[in-house]
Every structure is written in structure tokens, then in C-alpha cells.
Amino acid sequence: MPGLPLTGVRVLDFTWVISGPQCTHILGDFGAEVIKVEWPHYPDGMRNRGQPPGTDPGSWEEGGLWNNLNRNKRSVTLNMRHPRAAAIALDLVAQCDVVVANMGPHVLESWGLSWEVMQSVRPGLIYLCMTGFGLGGPNEGYLVFGPVMQAISGIHGMTGRPGAEPAGLGYSYADYTAGYFGALAVLAALQDREATGNGAMIDLGQVEATVALTSVAILDYQVNGRPFSAWGNVPFGADDAPAGLYRCQGEDSWCAISVRTDDQWAALTRVIGRDDLGCDSRFSAQKSRAGHRPMLDQVVSAWTEPRTRDAVVTELADAGVPCSPVLTAEEMLADPALRARGYYQEATHPLLGPREFQMGAIQSPAGPELRRAGPMFGEANDDIYGGLLGMSPDHIRELAAEAVI
Amino acid sequence: MRQPFPSFQQLRVLDLTDRWGQFAAKLVTQLGADVVVAEPPGGHELRRAWPLAVSPAGQPISLYFWHFNAGKRSVALDLETGEGRSAAAGLVAAADVVLAGADSYDRFSATLPGGFGSTPVVALSAYGLDHRDDERADELHVAARGGTAGLSGYGPEENSSPIIPPAEQAMHSAGLYGAIAALLAVRRGRTAELFDVSAQAAAFQGTEQLFSCWVYRREVLHRRGGGYATPFPTGRWQLVSSDGSYFYPLGLLPRTQREWTDLKDWMRREGAIQDLDEPAYADLMELRGQNPFVISAPGQHAGEVISDFLRSIDAERAYREGQAMKMGWGRVYQPHETLGEEQFVLRELFHRTAWPGTSEVYRTQSLPWIIQSASVPHAPDEVVYPPEIGQHTRDVLDAWAKPVSGTEPSASTER
């Protein structure tokens, strides 16, 4: 089958930071034409975050995370606070299948781009409105970033050692999750439109998306009266013991070890020179080993700490005990499983040069496909305003001179 | 109840997933598709998965299976028999898309004449179908090899150790990608295409700065208790409030001068302003500096005074009153506390669910959106049940033997 699944779908992208861009880059990776609308004088703060050393800190073109999140998109500038901007934006809406925004509640409405107005110029439009708590309700105006969403939703409090202070997550997982949910919602609405001809407005609450990640904990609380208790580094619901992350020789060097079967337990005790534990009735069965995790963790750590991580992994793997290195970012880039599946693809950015991109979790003949690096600021003004909207070069120059674009 | 898409009732999805595909199949079910879980005669292996409850008849109930399978239909299939293989082949042929695990993908490919035929397959596994590693196919090892394990945990001042994400987050991320892949596959039609979803790749994708900090700056991230790893070792943000609850003020200093004035007014009213009325603390931009992770000495002091203030009041008040003045702060809730959150109640985030044959009704998470569309009416808050083993075998085999009625698509409105 030629082309990508979303070839022919055009997306108008009023997104910034992480959640919205994550949503639209998935759509772009599978073929959608994504037109990112940027404010000429106040661009996405991610544009100058995490630049390579030596680059101009004021540059809007060399942010590493921004480049990764905004590949396969075009960029136009449009000052939505200018009186002439709304009409231009509506001309763009009329040419698009999907509008995505994560600008906060009612921001597009304040620009004259309410759902009703956008629908009137583009029947069948799909509008994904991503906000912290969704539209309406007492929390509508709350200001939430990824880690705060994680705190409010419960996922932060679930992370940590048993009985200890919550550790929380070290990254804005909630933003990415909201982006995935957003892409799913758009695809579902496109599918529905194929069947019914109707468009849709999707009012997505990003905190609500994070609540979905608390999994079965809410049901368990209601049925068993049991508040969630952190599992530390034991896989959720597993009886594995010993199991967890163990410190190895060197700075912040760790490995993962999990013992599931009696054979693995026997192999572990043999390798670490603790045959005495193999004969100890307290540890003869999986369930009873699980009841002695803290003690077993001490035993295993005493063996791993004076050894290098790679020596531990090799020795245990040879003995048939499941063991993995905790990979660094540098090692993730060399990981054979990720490399083999084409997780990294390369595109050349005008200033950053050839760069690799993280292409998501799907591998298929239908994509993802990397077609271009993150766009330079307003690089598509001539193509989109001239080519798509039919503006003359003089008109485009006049709009630029008046600070409309 | 959050609305499914009525048009999705025509979408047939055969669910052959193991643990790695549970969230994907749940999402497609919640979208409204006709999802049929195929189980061996003794039931799906996850019917015995933790956490468990006890039914009124004294039988164990897996809340795990319940949570992920509510709303599906169940067909019992015995692939050891000719009848079972024939039924399986019929279901595969009738499905618009198959969701599979690594084992079921291999087993159905090997057992059924013609394998999956032209039906597209979304296979979800720990490391992808080409990198089977059954001994290490769990959340612990995927976190170690997916970049997430080193980012969260406790810092040097707290007996440093990393912590993996809780409650199968790699599975959840893979599930979202799996559901996306399922809809992409449906959009492509009967192309016999395989969409191979890796939980390791899904985990790594969501690690925010890990990849870009290394690739663009050769920086590693430092984890710390209370969350958010940064390229520079920084102080803690998580606090213990006066009521003993944890509180998470992401970036103690506000974003605008107006908010700084409001916050100082609040602290002054509470007698907690200390020395922040001195001129050195007047200009927020002087305190913040350009880099949010490199705060000036006066900025650090202001942060300490704000921390003292937040420790002196209860977390709920700090959260609500802080948010009222646009402070991006949050209380650290336990998952079950979200059930009583007025915002979620008003927006009907939770829908009703029950175990078959029991009278107790509970609440569980819906899809995180409300839809306005002429084709998506508001749905009544019906109770959603998980299926019993093979409960729908005859119905499904009969129904799926016939083509879906009214499947001719309307004229596409795409350009």
C-alpha cells in the first residue's frame, strides 16, 4: 500500500511545550501534514532549551528537545493578538482536517476561534482541545505541568520504596501520556468521521489522562479497602524475590535482578557463594522468599557492590538468573533491540546538522517515517500563506511588516 | 458516562494479548469497538493475576482482569482441537484488527492455516517480536533497559537509589501506542501488515530530557527524591505539610511579578513573610534568573521562606489557595483520593463497574475526554462488567460469521 496511513490529513497545530507537540508529532510521523502556528514574538520556550554548548542561548532554532518533538512539522508565524490574525487563522482552519491546541482553557475562543466558528468554516473538523483539567468545573483554571499532574493524579505518590516518602517520577511522563491520548482521540474521531461524516470537538483533560495510569489501584481500594502501597522495584503483582535494582561498583551504577523460579534461586545462591541460603527452609519457596525481601536484598547487594555492573550481568546471565544493566542515555543509543527496529532515524536540521530522533514504540510498514527535522521559525510562511492560502508575495510582506506574521 | 463512538460498534477486534497488551485492548474497548478476548478453556492467565478479591461464592476474582477486560466479550477457544482452530481462523478472518502478544502471535501464526491472512496485527511485547527475551520480559527489566529506572528515586542525601515507575507504566505506554497502532491498522484496511509495539521503546520515548540532554549536550540527569531529574544537582521540591501530607511545588517561585506580589500578600497575611518585604526580594526576575535550574542566592532564600510557609499549612489548603493565585503546585494524592475530587465527579471521569453476578457497584477510570459530536450522544451511566470465560462464544461465532451490516462508509470528508 502506498503512502502512510495519515497521508492527506492536514493538522493545524496550536501546541507548545510537550503534551501537544507529542500528540502532533505522532500524527506527523504517520503521514499527516502538520502546520505549527507560532507566535512571532513569544515562541515556545522549548525552542531554546537544551541547546548544544556554544550555541547562542537566545537562538530559537537549536533546542534539542524541541527538535525531537517537532520533526515532521512545518512552522508558520501568526500573531494571534493582532486584529487581522483571526481571519487568517480561520482560512487555515478551512483547509485543515484537524486542529490541536494545548494553550489553556478558552484561549482559542479568545482569539475568535471557538469550536462553533471553526466548524462553520470547516464542517467535519476535528478539534482536540488539551487542557490541564478539561473544560468546566472548579479546577478548569488550575495551572498544571507534568510533574504536578503526576502529584495530583496519584501516580507520583505510587512511586517509591515501600513505606518511604514518595519518590515521584523524574520526568514529565504525564505530558507524554496526554500526547499519546490526544493522538488516539484524533485517530478515533477520524475513524468516526469516515463512518458518519461528522466532526468532533474533543475536550481532553490531561490530569484525567494521568489518572488512567493509576491502573487497578482505584478498584482495589474500593473492593478490598486497600490504599495503594508502593512496590519499590518489584514488578507490580509479582512474587519475585529477590528482585530489584542493586548497586554495583562505580558511580551510580546499577543492575536489575529478578528471581522467579526455584532453579533461578539455586543458580543465584551458587553464583554469589551462598549455598547456605539455598538450603535454608525460609527461602525454599517463592512465596516465602518474597516474605524476606529486605534480607535477601542485603545479601544480593553485598555481592553486587564490589563488582562492576557488566561483570554482574555476565555472571548471572551465564548462570540463568535474569539480570539487566540499568542503561545510561549513552547506552540507550547503542541498544541493539532499539537499533534493529529502527527506533532511531536521522534527519538534517539546517543549524543542528544531522541528528537522530526517537521514533516511538511502533514499528510497521505503515510508519513511523522521518521526513524532516524540526522546522526553523516561520520557515513555511511563504509555502503555507502563499501556496495553501493563495496570498501574493506582496501580501505576505505586508503582513510581516505589520507584525501580523 | 464518557461516550464511546457508536460507529465503533462495527469495528471487530480480536484480543489475544498477554500482560503487555492489556491497556491497548482496554482503550479500544472504551472507544466502543466490539472487542472479543479469546481465552483457553481454563480462562485467560490474567484471571489469576494480583490483586485478588473474593466473590460472594468464595471464588477468587482478579481485579486486574476485571479492570482491563470490563466491556469486552469472551470466547473460549481450544487450539488443541480442530473445532477450536476452525473457530479461531474464523474470528481472525472476521476481525478488522488482531491485538496479540508475542506468544499468541507465534502460536496463531503456526497453528492456523494461512496464519493471520490479510487481517492486520498489532503485537505488543517487552522488546519487540524480533528481540524476544522471556526471562527479562517484565517491568523491572524493561525499566532498566528503557531509560526510566535511573531517572526516578532518591538522591544522595536519602541513601541514593533508583526506583522504577509504578504499576506497569511501560505496559501502559505501550498500550497507548498499541491502541494508536490499532486505529492506524484499521485505517489501512486488510493489508496483512504487522504493527510491532515495544514496551522498551515506549518507556524510553516518555523520558523527556534523557535523550536530548545526552545527544545535544552530553549531560546526564540527576535524580532526586520527590521527582524531576535535572542536569544539575538541585534542592528538593517535595515538602511535608503541617498535616503530614506531601506537597509538590514545582518551582517554588512563581512565573510573573503579579503572582509574586499575590504570593507575598498571602504569606504576609499568614505572618510568614519573614524578610521577603526587603528590596532584594522585590523583583521576581532578579530572583529567578534565566535558567530555572540555576537560581540566584536571593532566589534560593526566597524559595526557603516559601518552603517554610508551605510546611506550616496543610497540603490541601496550600494546593487550592496556591492554584487560585496561579501557582503551579499540587498536593501528592493517593490514587483513590481522586474518586472524591469534585472536578472529576462533575465531568463524570469515573464510570460504574461490577463483577458479574454480584450487586456491589464500583467506579473506574473512563477515557480522559468529553466529546461534542453529532454522532456521539451522551451515554447513560451503565454498569460495565468483565466477561465470564467463554460467555459469548456462541453469540460471537454466529455474529462474526456474518459481515458487519451497514459498513459502507459515508463519503469521506477528507480533502
Q: Each residue of B147-167: pLDDT tens digit? A: 999 999 998 766 789 999 999
CB of A153 within 8 Å of any CB in chain B? yes
Domain of residue B356 covers 6-207+352-400
**Does B177 reside within a domain?**
yes
Out of A294, A326, A358, a domain closes at A326
Q: Is residue A279 part of a domain?
A: yes
Q: Are residues A32 and A156 part of one domain?
A: yes
- Residue B193 and residue A366: Cβ atoms within 8 Å? yes
The model's pLDDT over A246-295, given as tens digits with 9 standing for 90+, comes to 999 999 999 999 999 999 999 999 999 999 998 899 999 999 999 999 99
Residues B26 and B158 in one domain: yes
What pLDDT is attached to residue A377? 97
Q: Are A158 and A201 in a shared domain? A: yes
Cβ <8 Å between A153 and B161: no
ipTM of the prediction:
0.98
- Lowest average pLDDT, out of A163-177, B188-202, B285-299, goes to B285-299
- Average the pLDDT over A198-212 and give the result: 98
Number of domains in chain A: 2
Q: Are residues A285 and A305 in the same domain?
A: yes
Strands A126-131 and A98-101: parallel
Q: State whether B244 and B188 are in the same domain.
A: no
Is B357 within a domain?
Answer: yes
Q: In Å, how far is A397's CA from the nearest CA of chain B?
A: 29
The cell numbers describing A215, all together, are 491502573
A319 near B CB under 8 A: no
A108 and A199 inside one domain: yes
Residue recorded with cell 542566592: B297
Residue position matching grid coordinates 481450544: B78
Report the distance separating Cα B219 and Cα B230, nearest Å: 9
Identity of the residue in A153, A180, A215 whose CB atom sits nearest the CB atom of B180:
A180
Whole-number Å distance between alpha carbons of B46 and B183:
25
Report if residue A221 sits inside a domain.
Answer: no
My answer on whether A147 and A254 are in the same domain is no
State the catalytic residue, choosing from A13, A29, A44, A175: A175
d(CA A321, CA A315): 9
Nearest to B332 among A156, A164, A197 (CB): A156
Taking the CA of residue B83 and the nearest CA in chain A, the distance in Å comes to: 32
The verdict on residue B50 lying in a domain is yes
Residue A60 lies in a domain: yes
- Supply the CATH number for residue B387's domain: 3.40.50.10540
Q: Which of residues 21-50 of A touch B (CB under 8 A)?
A: 26, 30, 50
* CATH at residue A270: 3.30.1540.10
| CA pseudo-torsion sign A38, A42, A44, A50 | positive
Asked if B363 and B298 sit in the same domain, the reply is: no
Q: Are residues A148 and A172 in the same domain?
A: yes
Q: How far is B285 from chain A (nearest CA, A)?
A: 16
Nearest one of A385, A403, A404, A401 to A393, comparing CA atoms: A385
**Judgement on whether residues A303 and A386 belong to the same structural domain of the protein:** no
Three-state secondary structure along chain B? CCCCCHHHHHCEEEEECCHHHHHHHHHHHHHCCEEEEEECCCCCHHHHCCCEEECCCCCEEEHHHHHHHCCCEEEECCCCCHHHHHHHHHHHHHCCEEEECHHHHHHHHHHCCCCCCCCCEEEEECCCHHHCCHHHCCHHHHHHHCCCCCCCEECHHHCCEECCCCCCHHHHHHHHHHHHHHHHHHHHCCCCCEEEEEHHHHHHHCCCHHHHHHHHHCCCCECCCCCCCECCCCCCCCEECCCCCEEEECCCCCCCHHHHHHHHHHHHHCCCCCCCCCHHHCCHHHHHCCCCCCCCHHHHHHHHHHHHHHHCCCHHHHHHHHHHCCCCEEECCCHHHHHHCHHHHHCCCEEEECCCCCCCCEEEECCCEEEEECCECCCCCCCECCCCCCCCHHHHHHHHCCCCCCCCCCCCCCC
User: Does B203 share its domain with B265?
Assistant: no
Query: Is residue B115 a contact partner of residue B108, using CB atoms and an 8 Å limit?
Result: yes
Query: Would you state the pLDDT for residue B408?
Result: 44
Shared domain for A189 and A249, answered yes or no, is no
Nearest chain B Cα distance for residue A376, angstroms: 17
A260, A194: one domain = no
Question: Which of the listed residues B331, B364, B392 is the one where a domain comes to its end?
Answer: B331
Nearest by CB to B338, which of A153, A178, A247?
A153
**Residue written as cell 490526544?**
A182
Q: Is A174 exposed, middle or buried (0-12, 13-18, 19+ CB in 10 A)?
A: buried
Total Cβ atoms within 10 A of residue A263: 11
Mutate one of A27, A42, A184 to test the B interface: name it (highest B CB count within 10 A): A184
Contact A158, A214 (CB under 8 A): yes
Q: Are the beta carbons of B11 and B186 closer than 8 angstroms?
A: yes
| Residue in B8, B204, B333 nearest the CB of A332 | B204
**A80 and A199 share one domain:** yes
Q: Does residue A383 carry a catalytic annotation?
A: no
In a domain, B305, yes or no: yes
pLDDT, position B293:
63
Find the CATH number of the domain harbouring A150: 3.40.50.10540
Q: Which of A1, A148, A252 to mutate to test the interface with B (most CBs of B within 10 A)?
A: A148
B339 part of a folded domain: no
Between CA B351 and CA B364 the distance in angstroms is 5
Range A48-76 average pLDDT: 94
**Does A226 reside within a domain?**
no
**What are the tens digits of pLDDT across the range B269-279?**
999 999 999 99
CB B389 within 8 A of CB B46: no
Q: Grid coordinates standing for B212?
A: 536530548
User: Is residue B361 in a domain?
Assistant: yes
Half-sphere exposure (Cβ direction) of A323: Cα atoms closer than 13 Å? 26
Q: What pLDDT sits at residue B227?
A: 76
Range A331-356 average pLDDT: 97
Is A31 contained in some domain?
yes
Cell numbers 549531560: residue:
B219
Residue B414 forms part of a structural domain = no
**Count of domains observed in chain B:** 2
Taking a C-beta distance cutoff of 8 angstroms, is the pair B203, B148 a contact?
A: yes
Q: Determine the pLDDT at residue A297.
A: 97
Subunit contact B150:A152, Cβ cutoff 8 A: no
pLDDT grade for B23, boundaries at 50, 70 and 90: very high
Chain A residues within 8 A of B177 when measuring between CB atoms: 180, 360-362
Distance of residue B145 Cα from the nearest chain A Cα, in angstroms: 6
Give the end of a domain, one of B298, B331, B364: B331
Domain boundary residue, one of B301, B331, B361: B331
| B243 and B374 housed in the same domain | no
d(CA A217, CA A205): 20
Q: Is residue A232 part of a domain?
A: no
Reduced to 3 states (helix: H, G, I; strand: E, B; else coil), residue A383 is helix
Check residue A92 and give its pLDDT.
Answer: 98
Asked if B85 and B137 sit in the same domain, the reply is yes
User: What is the arithmetic mean of pLDDT over B139-150?
Assistant: 97
Q: 10 Å Cβ neighbour count for B220?
A: 15
Residues B292 and B186 placed together within one structural domain of the fold = no
Q: Which one of A8, A124, A177 has the shortest CB-CB distance to B176?
A: A177
Residue A380 lies in a domain: yes
- Whole-model pTM: value is 0.97
Q: Which H or E run includes A362?
A: strand A362-363
What's the CA gap between B357 and A49, in Å, rounded?
A: 56
Structural domain of A318: 243-326
Residues B166, B257 within the same domain:
no
pLDDT of residue A303: 98
Chain B partners of A146 at a C-beta cutoff of 8 Å? 208
B191-236 confidence digits (pLDDT tens) = 999 999 999 999 999 999 999 999 999 999 988 888 789 888 776 7
Quote the CA–CA distance of A140 and A148 in Å, as a whole number. 15
Average pLDDT over residues A188-201: 97
Q: Between B393-400 and B82-94, two packed helices, what is the crossing angle to 10 degrees?
A: 50
Mean pLDDT to the nearest integer, B44-63: 95
Helix-helix angle A173-196:A146-153, to 10 degrees: 90
pLDDT digits (tens, 9 = 90+) for B344-357: 999 999 999 999 99
Determine, for residues B166 and A158 on separate chains, whether the beta-carbon distance falls below 8 Å.
Answer: yes
Q: Are residues A198 and A89 in the same domain?
A: yes
For residue B387, the one-letter residue type is P
The answer to whether residue B346 is domain-embedded is no
On whether both B320 and B357 belong to a single domain, the answer is: no
Contact B238 A168 (CB under 8 A): yes
CA gap B292, A397 in Å, rounded: 37
Q: Do A30 and B376 touch (CB under 8 A)?
A: no
- The single-letter DSSP state of residue A51 is P
Does residue A213 belong to the interface with chain B, where contact is any CB pair within 8 Å? yes
Amino acid B413: pLDDT: 43
* pLDDT over 70 (residue A371): yes
C-alpha B385: how far from chain center: 20
Residues A345, A257, single domain; the answer is: no
Domain-ending residue, one of A306, A326, A346: A326
Q: Which residues, at least 6 apart from A353, have a Cβ–Cβ distance to it below 8 Å?
A: none
Indicate if B275 and B375 belong to the same structural domain: no
The reply to whether B118 and B259 lie within a common domain is no
- Residue B90 reports pLDDT greater than 70: yes
User: Tens digits of per-residue pLDDT, A6-46?
Assistant: 999 999 999 999 999 999 999 999 999 999 999 998 899 99
Residues B22 and B162 in one domain: yes
